[in-house]
Amino acid sequence: MHIGFVMNPIAGMGGRVGLKGTDGKVAEAIDRGAEPRAPDRARRALARLATIRPDVEVTAAADPMGASLVREAGITLAGVIDSGTGDQSSEPTEPNDRVEATESHEAPETTAEHTKRAVRGFLDRGVDLVWFVGGDGTAADVAEALEGTDTPMLGVPAGVKVYSSVFAVSPEDAAEVVASFSRTERREVMDIDEDEYRAGEVHPELRAVAHVPVAEDLQSSKQLGGGTVESLAEGVATDIRAGTGVTYVLGPGSTVGAIKAELGFEPSPIGVDVWRDGEVIVQDATEREILDSLGEENVIVVSPIGGQGFVFGRGNPQLSPAVIRECDVRIVASRAKLDAVRVLRVDTDDPELDAELAGWVKVRVGKFERRMMKIA
């Protein structure tokens, strides 16, 4: 198997610092202390692929878009595509040559055109699959470059926004799909306007329909909504008001937004708000602000994404592993939302924490009612 591999090195950087995306916000994300997320996601995916499919060959985009990470994983690097970033230092003189992987802690300046140029180079090399690391914007760029071809694409989720159904559930699952798929199907590539998203307006737009390798239970379905939450919000808000001295970290989304409204304040658009003893401590909080606000007893209230079932790891990167480990977790959802998913999922960037969170949990579905659901 011959794979084309490209990584958007700035994908997801804006999430934990409250920017809800990185498009046009790289400098601001760095000023707020953001660190690259995509390289670690790529490492996890490549390491798993090297273990289960050691015979795979990879043509990669030049650094900082992936080549060094492929070598670091011990995978055969068949070639390096000049994506226009100006870094050709990772081009091997022979296909199996090895050099030390390089590491940069800066956010490199890469654009959509760099991604598209790399994908066009992969097509020239005749790859069987384009494997990318990023979010919905990266997916749209890859799909545009693949338009008119039958070459499939698969995403390792690393962005703040992951509305498209072309992504695997986690980096390791992405490697499993790459190693084992035997068929593809047409799936939607969605994207949203980040400025509208930051203002609380979520209007996913269909950008493309792409060929995607398929493996059951290892990929995200498209977003779905549904179900009323009035009685649920009333019940949860009543419990929160009674929680004297407890710090409540209230996640994003319409379900938890209804709880915030029931508590009597205007929720921040798609943001995380912190509440304690009858008042809002922080609105639209970053990871750092959440950690600074925590007390002796802390509770996260979060609702899974409709259709996908993600409790953590999609749309709420402010709820980082450091935050989660300091809190009890209470999951809330309408019955209709749970009916649309078979299991719940987590993808926190910390595999050990993911394993700790896995198992059967009680999800509150009404004023008093609860339903058992499994976090896979």
Q: Quick one: 162 and 192 in the same domain?
A: yes
Q: What's the rounded mean pLDDT across residues 243-270?
A: 92
The per-residue pLDDT for range 153-169, each reduced to its tens digit, is: 999 999 876 778 899 98
Min mean pLDDT across 173-182, 187-196, 283-292, 328-337 is at 187-196
Task: Report the candidate in 266, 240, 277 with the shortest Cα–Cα distance to residue 364.
Answer: 240
47 with 180, same domain?
yes
Q: What is the pTM of this model?
A: 0.63
Q: Which of 213, 247, 274 is the last residue of a domain?
A: 213
**Band (341; pLDDT cuts 50, 70, 90):** confident
pLDDT above 70 covers what percent of the chain? 80
Same domain, yes or no, for 259 and 299? yes
**Residue 245 and residue 204 share a domain:** no
Q: What DSSP line would sit under 164-211, residue for residue?
A: SSSBBSSHHHHHHHHHH---EEEEEEEE--HHHHHTT----EEEEEEE
- 148 occurs within a structural domain: yes
Most confident residue range from 172-176, 188-192, 337-341: 172-176
| Structural domain includes residue 220 | no
Evaluate whether residue 219 is within a structural domain. no
Q: Is the dihedral of CA 127, 133, 139, 142 positive or negative?
A: negative
Query: Do the Cβ atoms of 160 and 15 come closer than 8 Å?
Result: yes
133 in any annotated domain: yes
Mind listing the pLDDT tens digit for each residue in 80-93?
A: 999 887 554 445 43
State residue 110's pLDDT score: 84
Share above pLDDT 90 across residues of the chain, in percent, rounded to a whole number: 59
Categorize the per-residue pLDDT at 207 as very low, low, confident or very high, splitting at 50, 70 and 90. Answer: confident
In this structure, the answer to whether residues 247 and 206 fall within a common structural domain is: no
Instruction: Give every CB contact of residue 51 below 8 A, 6+ residues apart in sequence.
Output: none
Summarize the confidence of residues 269-296 as an average pLDDT: 94
Across 50-66, average pLDDT = 95
Q: For residue 117, tell me if it sits in a domain.
A: yes
The mean pLDDT of the chain is 84
The last residue of one of the domains, among 186, 213, 240, is 213
Same-domain pairing of 156 and 266: no
* 287-332 pLDDT, tens digit each: 999 999 999 999 999 999 877 899 998 889 899 999 999 999 999 9
Domain check: are 67 and 209 in the same one? Answer: yes
- What is the arithmetic mean of pLDDT over 9-24? 61
Cα–Cα distance for residue pair 39/70, rounded to 1 Å: 11
Same domain? For 178 and 290 the reply is: no
Range 264-291 average pLDDT: 92
Q: Based on the domain organization, do 21 and 135 belong to the same domain?
A: yes
Domains in the chain, number:
2
Q: In the predicted model, is pLDDT for residue 244 greater than 50?
A: yes
- Say how far residue 350 (Cα) sits from the centre of its chain: 13
pLDDT of residue 197: 54
Residue 352 has pLDDT above 50, yes or no: yes
Residue 303 lies in a domain: yes
Q: What is the pLDDT of residue 31?
A: 56
Residue 176 pLDDT exceeds 50 = yes
- The domain that holds 183 is classified in CATH as 3.40.50
- Tell me: the pLDDT tens digits for 93-143? 344 444 344 444 455 568 899 999 999 999 999 999 999 999 888 999 999
Same domain, yes or no, for 172 and 240?
no
Examine the domain organization and report whether 160 and 263 are in the same domain: no
Give the relative orientation of helices 254-263 and 230-242 as an angle to the nearest 10 degrees.
Answer: 50
**What is the rounded average pLDDT of the residues 245-252?**
96
Model confidence at 214, pLDDT cuts 50, 70, 90, reads: confident
Which residue range(s) make up the domain with 172? 2-213
Q: Write the DSSP symbol of residue 112.
A: H
Domain assignment present for 352: yes
* pLDDT at site 5: 98
Domain-terminating residue out of 182, 213, 244? 213
Does 351 sit behind a cis peptide bond, omega within 30 degrees of 0 on the bond before it? Answer: no
Asked if residue 145 is part of any domain, the answer here is: yes
Both 200 and 263 in one domain: the answer is no
